Chain A
Amino acid sequence: GAVVSQHPSRVICKSGTSVKIECRSLDFQATTMFWYRQFPKQSLMLMATSNEGSKATYEQGVEKDKFLINHASLTLSTLTVTSAHPEDSSFYICSAPDQGHEQFFGPGTRLTVL
């Protein structure tokens, strides 16, 4: 099946700094990618839809100025957490649909803000 990668797998940063997380579709192109946030032993919460060549679509309650999304190419979407705070600490997961519209998920990025 298709493969989606994320980088880094884990990151620790200081409060107030910005962190960039990459999501790549390795063997297929994706005009759309999705970003989720997952708390321990809890559900995945959809944050936004990343659209190649246009602005991302954010879910209600998600601050677009805090979680910047850029979908620069058909295989890469980035999520930048700006001015990170401890409450932003979480597990961030991306997904991308292949040609058959099946969603493939990345392994996730563990963000810890000190």
Chain B
Amino acid sequence: SYELTQPPSVSVSPGQTARISCSGDALPKKYAYWYQQKSGQAPVLVIYDDSERPSGIPERFSGSSSGTKATLTISGAQVEDEADYYCYSTDNSGNHRVFGGGTKLTVL
């Protein structure tokens, strides 16, 4: 089965840049999506189609993808950005949709 691999945790100080990676064999051909989930809340889409930002998402959130790795970047991370972040994509056939294991971002 298809897998997306994320680091379990990332830690930065407020104002620093946080980068969360997501690796998958199909990412050269398939879009990556990123979700933010704060404790006790439903997930929120923060990046779609590799690098597009939905309306209402702060500009400090950006996405990129190169080869088999997609990256979520939070420029000038704030305390309120502390959350679990999940990448999502599909395999080359498009039949298997998967989330990465999630990355806990700590900002302190």
Co-complex (A, B): no
What is the interface of chain B, defined by CB distance below 8 A to chain A?
A: none
What is the interface of chain A, defined by CB distance below 8 A to chain B?
A: none
